[in-house]
Amino acid sequence: MRLAALLTAAAFAVGGASTASAQAVSVQSLISQDFVVVGTIPSQAGPGLFLQKKDKMFFCVVAEKPTSENVDTRYCKPVR
């Protein structure tokens, strides 16, 4: 249950992309494009989020550190 709460919070708490990486895909950039979290999964790389908008889907891995203010996107990949 705690993991589900963390993943839900992660979708909304992930920090924004900096100017230098403005074109990088992140959970926040996908949510700002009206993608929604449709699933979560634990993985060795960190908690995974599935985000979908119509027929497009991405899988993103996030990372949380106890000393960090944000949950950060490690990477996102399109699902085909």
Q: Say yes or no to pLDDT of 17 above 60.
A: no
Considering only residues 51 and 68, tell me which one the structure prediction assigns the higher pLDDT. Answer: 51
Candidates 34, 38, 32; CA nearest to 7 is 38
Question: Which of 4-8, 32-36, 59-63 has the lowest average pLDDT?
Answer: 4-8
Quick one: tokens of 63? 């990372």
CB burial string 39-49: b at 16+ within 10 A, e below? ebeeeeebbbb
pLDDT of amino acid 65: 87
Quick one: tokens of 58? 């991405």
**Angstrom distance (rounded) from CA 55 to CA 23:** 21
Q: Say yes or no to pLDDT of 3 above 70.
A: no
Widest distance between CA atoms in the chain: 37
Q: What is the pTM of this model?
A: 0.70
pLDDT of amino acid 22: 52
Quick one: tokens of 6? 């963390």
